[in-house]
Chain A
Amino acid sequence: MRKILKKIIVLCILTTFTFSLTGCYDATGIEENAYVVAIGLDLAESNELELTIQIATEGNNSSGGESSSSSSQSKQTNITTVKCSSINSGISLINNHISKQTNLSNCQVLVISEKLATYGIAEYIDTLLNNVELRNDCSVIISKCSAKDYLNNVKPSLEIFVARFYESTLQSAKYTGYTINISLAKFYSKMKDTSCEPYAILGAVSTESGTNSNAKLNYDNTAGENPITDSDVIDNFGIAIFKNDVLVGELSGLDSICHVMITNELDECTMSVPNPFESGKYIDLLLTSEKDTKCSVSYVNNSPLISVDIYLDGRGLSLDEHIKYDSTESLNLIESSATKYIQNQVSNYLYKTAKEYNSDICGFGKYAISNYLTLQEWNDSNWLGNYKNSFFDVNVYLNVESGNLFTKS
């Protein structure tokens, strides 16, 4: 009896296994997927959503031992655009059209056009976050031109793979401060937060007018207006300001430096400050953060008074016979000139965010929230609506050390 039972059980198990093997339902090989490296969202003329996806195809060139030096002639990526009513229906149509199934797990960049952003992007951000494949650490870029143009103009000159280009180019914020690197999750977090507003990277295609324009001090202009000429026509410069999920304004490169100083994201940046030894000339300083910025919020007549203390370390980069870094008085002179200048710029930036845009992108709300005991009270205080009435008290403490290799020429 037991033997027969055993045989029956073994038979059942075998049948179960054979049935499980008949599909291997979800096993998809690597070569069966088309990997998307960038997604672009536009508003078409007919007020429909226009979805653009950039698929990496450079891998195809390296089979059979061919060197990839011929890649300049063949396309590195494949760009497909579709008009659709929503993102997922667009992706579905593209899946039908191209030979492989799209896979969003390597998407590095989400490009949204300015035009679309002014109408509000909450539904797109929510939908994309809900997507299982998409990693929520991809960067969010608002482009001044259309997303399609932006993606079409991505032609990396220093890299082979487009994916690597995106990774490296967005790290530049660390050592220049002219823009910030924000991920989808952080954008969403700030969008939902009742104590701050979201912001995104500002990108554009360099135009003729931009390339031929004059250089402003500390590049106080936004993306696409920079006087730089090369084959990389994409320019990520400045910050796009949002109020809730609607684009309300743009900040220049200089404003962006001020922003990273306040939000403790400054690694290092180069700033030109007025030269105290020679009028009309400027000294370049390499600024790093000495310690965390201290902010505090208090209320004066129902208006928030925000005081910001920024601590910086500087190193003198430019050198000529007039500039001296060796004595305390000359250093103090440089310090006072630089401090005044930076204070001025930061103040301007803060008042711009408050008065012009009414958008607390620096996140001062988190310092105000500690004055309340329950979430209900906080919500009733309506911080984000009240931000335009804020006053700012900015103090910059700069400590200039000597020059790099020379202290005097």
Chain B
Amino acid sequence: MDSPKLGTIETIAILSLIMANKIILNLPKDIISSTGSSAWLNTIYIIFLALIFVLIITKLLCSFNGKDILDISQYLGGKPLQYIIGTIHILIFMAIILLILKNFTTTLKTIYFEHSPIIFVMLFFIVAASISNKFGIKPIAKVTLFIFPLATIGLIILLFSPASDFQIQRLTPIFGYGLDKTFIQGTMNIFALSGLGYIFFLPTLMDKNTNLRKIALFSLGISGFFLFLSTFCLLLVFSFIIDTNESMLLYVLTMFMRHGNLIHGINTLFVLVWILSIIAYISTTFSFALFILKKTLNLKEIDSSNYCICTIILGAAVLLQNFTDFGRSFEYIIQYIILAFVFVADPLLLLIANIKQKLSSSRSKQSILNRKECL
């Protein structure tokens, strides 16, 4: 049965949630510790770079009407290239899930589940993701549509609750650790918006009438706005975050929230919303991985592979816990690999495919029919 296609708003919700979840996973802290008090400048710079990137790849994808990167790689290099690209992307997605699981569950375990084994905490995420993937990506997208406003409203409330303690002077000195660290080395921080890599697979998942460029720009706008807001507000609230290293900065902020005698200690409600959005993030990534698997291997049913991949991820996540040093370097390696593939290799592939298409179309006039107005 052909799975139902995603609509515009659902796709925007998925993409925005994927990128906004990085805020929960302590990404602003990474940005701040690398750039100092100019983190907000760095964020604006990253968003600008991501905007250019989005414009480029939507233009490149547009010329292939409704095809995603797997079809394009098949067009370019035949089945072997499609297999290579598919495998690499499946591994990347699995690694992302692994890292999210590891980070978030260790934090949860520290706060609430001191005595439980880590696999117990991970089991909830994996089982929820596995069950929701039996039904395809459409129900997950709809649920994300419900969760996304909750998460964003919660985030806004959280970020503006210590507004009386904001000191605008904490944004100074303006260039933080220096121009070099803010703009040149700070380009690596575009990892925050690596959720844009999911755009490569969207054309086949969406309805024919949807406009990919509009969707990508909208989601970049929303998630960029929240990234900027969170970095900005976190800078304004605490002065110590530049020197110290917290494992979960937003959680520290929730503990700081106090209004009168009644509203204090409501960090748990925020954690509830964060758990929901992380489960949505894991489910979405998982469904993308299964989608690639189904497409490359041309499978009829993905239920069995659903369970297989779940078990593999669970096992790998538990293994990672035992080798903390290795885990940290693994994280850095994966980060650079994702950056390399999402921002360099895939666009390059698209570019080469576009060039090939232009060359072949100059010989035959058929592909003019394939071109569509992408605006």
- By a beta-carbon cutoff of 8 Å, the part of chain A in contact with chain B is 16, 20, 23, 25-26, 105, 132, 135-137, 167, 183, 185-186, 188-193, 195, 366-367, 369-370, 372-378
Q: With A23-B116, A25-B120, A26-B114 as given contacts, are A372 and B173 in contact (CB-CB < 8 Å)?
A: yes
Q: Which of A25, A190, A370 contacts B169 (CB 8 A)?
A: A370
Residues of B within 8 A of A190 (CB): 239
Of the candidates B172, B177, B242, B258, the one whose C-beta lies within 8 Å of that of A376 is: B177
With A135-B264, A374-B177 known as contacts, the answer to whether A26 contacts B115 (CB < 8 A) is yes
Least CB distance from A376 to B in Å reads: 7
A188 touches B255 (CB 8 A): no
Is B224's CB within 8 Å of the partner chain A? Answer: no
In the assembled complex, the CB of A221 is this many whole angstroms from the nearest CB of chain B, namely 30
Contact of B256 among A105, A137, A193 (CB under 8 A): A137
Q: Is B170 an interface residue (CB 8 A)?
A: yes
Q: Are A193 and B169 in contact (CB under 8 A)?
A: no
Could you tell me if A26 and B112 are in contact, using CB atoms closer than 8 angstroms? yes
Residue of B nearest to A20 (CB): B120
Inside 8 A of B243's CB, which chain A residues have their CB?
192
A232 to B334, CA, bound (A): 61
Interface assignment of B174: CB less than 8 Å from any CB of chain A:
yes
**Which B residue sits closest to A193, measured CB to CB?**
B239
B173 touches A373 (CB 8 A): yes
Looking at the complex, which one of A26, A167, A192, A372 makes contact with B239 (CB distance below 8 Å)? A192
| Complex A-B: 20 CB contacts under 8 Å | A20-B123, A23-B116, A25-B117, A26-B112, A136-B255, A137-B256, A137-B258, A137-B264, A167-B261, A183-B256, A192-B239, A192-B244, A195-B239, A369-B172, A370-B169, A372-B172, A373-B175, A375-B36, A375-B176, A375-B177
Q: Is B167 located at the chain interface by the 8 A CB criterion?
A: yes
CB distance from B131 to the nearest CB of A (A): 11
Minimum CB–CB distance from B361 to chain A (whole Å) comes to 50
Q: Which residues of B contact A105 (CB under 8 A)?
A: 265
Contact residues of B with A, CB < 8 Å?
36-37, 110-117, 120, 123, 165, 167, 169-170, 172-178, 238-240, 242-244, 252, 255-256, 258, 261, 264-265
The reply to whether A374 and B244 contact each other, CB–CB distance below 8 Å, is no
Residues of A contacting B174 in the complex (Cβ-Cβ under 8 angstroms): 373
Residues of A within 8 A of B170 (CB): 366
Not counting A23-B115, A195-B239, a sample of 4 additional A-B residue pairs whose C-beta atoms are within 8 angstroms of each other reads A186-B165, A191-B240, A193-B239, A373-B174
Question: A407 to nearest B CB, angstroms?
Answer: 35
A375 touches B37 (CB 8 A): yes
Residues on A with C-beta less than 8 A from B264 are 135, 137
CA of A372 to CA of B238, assembled, Å: 20
Distance of A374 Cα from B179 Cα, bound (Å): 8
A192 to B258, CA, bound (A): 22
Does B169 contact A369, Cβ atoms closer than 8 Å? yes
Residues in chain B near residue A20, CB distance under 8 A: 120, 123
A369-B173 in contact given A137-B264, A189-B239 (Cβ < 8 Å):
yes
Contacting residues, chain B, for A195 (C-beta < 8 A): 169, 239
Which residues does chain A contribute within 8 Å of B258, judged by CB atoms? 137
| Shortest CB distance B120–A (Å) | 6
Q: Looking at the assembled complex, report how far the CB atom of B289 sits from the nearest CB atom of chain A, in whole angstroms.
A: 22
Specify the chain A residue showing the minimal Cβ separation from B307. Answer: A9
The 5 closest A-B pairs by CB, nearest first: A366-B169, A192-B240, A193-B239, A25-B116, A25-B115
Q: How far, in whole Å, are A372 and B176 apart by their CA atoms in the complex?
A: 10
A189–B238 touching, CB < 8 Å: yes
CB distance from A369 to the nearest CB of B (A): 5
Contacts of A376 in B (CB 8 A): 177-178
Q: Which of B110, B117, B120, B240 contacts A193 (CB 8 A)?
A: B240
Q: How far is the CB of A105 from chain B (nearest CB, A)?
A: 7
Specify which chain B residues have a CB less than 8 angstroms from the CB of A183 in the assembled complex.
Answer: 256
Which B residues touch A188, using CB under 8 A?
A: 240
How far is A167 from B259 in the complex, measured between Cα atoms in Å? 12
B169 touches A367 (CB 8 A): yes
Q: Which of A186, A369, A378 has the most B CB atoms < 10 Å from its CB?
A: A369
Bound: A26/B113 CA distance, A: 6
- The one of A26, A132, A374 in contact with B175, judged by C-beta atoms closer than 8 angstroms, is A374
Pairwise interchain contact B240-A189, C-beta atoms closer than 8 A? yes
